[in-house]
Amino acid sequence: MNKINDKFSLLNFELIGKDIKIDFTKHLTKKDKEFFRHIKMQKYNHISLLKFYEIYSLKEKENVIKFLNNLMNKNIIISSKENNYFTCINILQSYHINNAFIYLVFSDEITSSFKKGSFFDKLGLRNILFLEEKFSYRLYQYIYNNREDNIYISIEELREILEIGDSYKRFYDIEKNLLIPILEDIKNNGEIELTYQKIKNGEHKSAKILGINLNRIVPVTVDSNSDPTLHTIDILMAKLGNNIKNFSEIYSLLIKTITEYGEDFAKEKVEYVLKNYDSDIEKNLKASLTQDNINEIIEKPDFILKKAFKSLFQMHTEILLFIQKNNLPQLSKYMFTITLYSLKDKESVTLKDKNMSIKITYNKNDISIIEFYLY
């Protein structure tokens, strides 16, 4: 049996467009989705207790804990009978309440779905989280997986998709109470605009409705037959040019990076390496795209300090002043070790403390960048 070496082997682009089914162990409530809209769906995030109270008109911390515990028990199931594929992922991985703040950690799969070109983005997972009608996500999936501009759905299929069984005897009731609100929801939150026509077994007014034709309003694209992911990789490889000797290795590494973390992240890494290194481009790019480095810098910082410093001592002082000015968590006594003072030009280091990490990119004769990550 072949050994699975890494997570990439589980995230297979070949699954996309097949019989992928996305479901929930427990349905998301409107309050869950409202919560998502008030925060950035990134790996590490935080929100003040006062803001949380304001959103839900709450006064007790116990109610906040109850809400977050319920959310942690809601998992997403992704499966495919055709490919014998099944995975269960949680939305909220963990949370911590410390003084006046709630610190949130979302799962890698959920945060990946918000990165353009990633596996979970291509499944449409991020849109499903925001659909408001109870069973919008089922019809959305059916349409999303089909990928055709015109889709016929029989009444029997529609009842199955919406899980309504024999209720709503008349099509008029299905149309008014479910179909129209769901199509509006998919348009507003699922980024797919559709029109529909009723298909009858005759021309007369009382003819039986057999099903509906859904027509996708297709936006104009430059080339609908091309794979945007491969196009992005080709552009990045062209930028790297003669700096790359092991072409196939770097090409595969970029595919893996885009699959898990999205196109924007891969572009940032290539631009960063080309800008900051004059030699050993291939070596530094591989280091920049390794798992350890990705884990440190994949998320957007909560605060950024950009400034030119005359010395590392001045940098140290400015960082402490910046923390005080922005009311950031106080650092432990040993946060700044000898590591900071051994930094060389164009080097980076990440210093970690209990409630915060600080990533420093030092440019001796230019602007240095200090990024603050709260958790």
Per-residue pLDDT at 46: 86
Residue spans of the domains in the chain: they are 7-123, 136-216, 228-297, 303-374
Neighbour tally for 224: CB within 10 Å = 8
CA dist., res. 162 & res. 164, Å (int)? 6
Closest CA to 32 of 77, 61, 68, 76: 68
Q: Which helix (H) or strand (E) holds 336?
A: none
Higher-confidence residue: 146 or 19?
146
CA dist., res. 301 & res. 331, Å (int)? 17
Closest CA to 127 of 118, 146, 140: 140
- Say which CATH class 136-216 falls into: mainly alpha
How confident is residue 250, by pLDDT bands cut at 50, 70 and 90?
confident
229-262 burial, b for 16+ CB within 10 Å, e for fewer? beebbeebeeebeebbeeeeebbebbbbbbbbbb
Please, are residues 194 and 214 in contact by the beta-carbon 8 Å criterion?
yes
Task: Name 47's Cβ contacts closer than 8 Å, sequence gap at least 6.
Answer: 38, 39, 101, 102, 104
> What are 159-180's pLDDT values in tens digits?
988 888 888 889 999 999 999 9
Residue 63: strand, helix, or coil: helix
Sign of the alpha-carbon dihedral angle for 296, 300, 303, 304: positive
How confident is residue 71, by pLDDT bands cut at 50, 70 and 90?
very high
Whole-prediction pTM: 0.54
Sign of the alpha-carbon dihedral angle for 128, 134, 136, 139: positive
Asked whether residue 276 carries a pLDDT value surpassing 50, the answer given is: yes
Across 27-36, 235-244, 295-304, 354-363, least confident range: 295-304
Per-residue pLDDT at 220: 45
Asked whether residue 35 carries a pLDDT value surpassing 70, the answer given is: yes
Q: Where are the alpha helices (DSSP H) in the chain?
A: 30-38, 49-56, 61-72, 108-112, 119-122, 125-128, 136-146, 155-162, 171-174, 180-189, 228-240, 247-261, 263-276, 281-288, 291-297, 312-325, 338-341
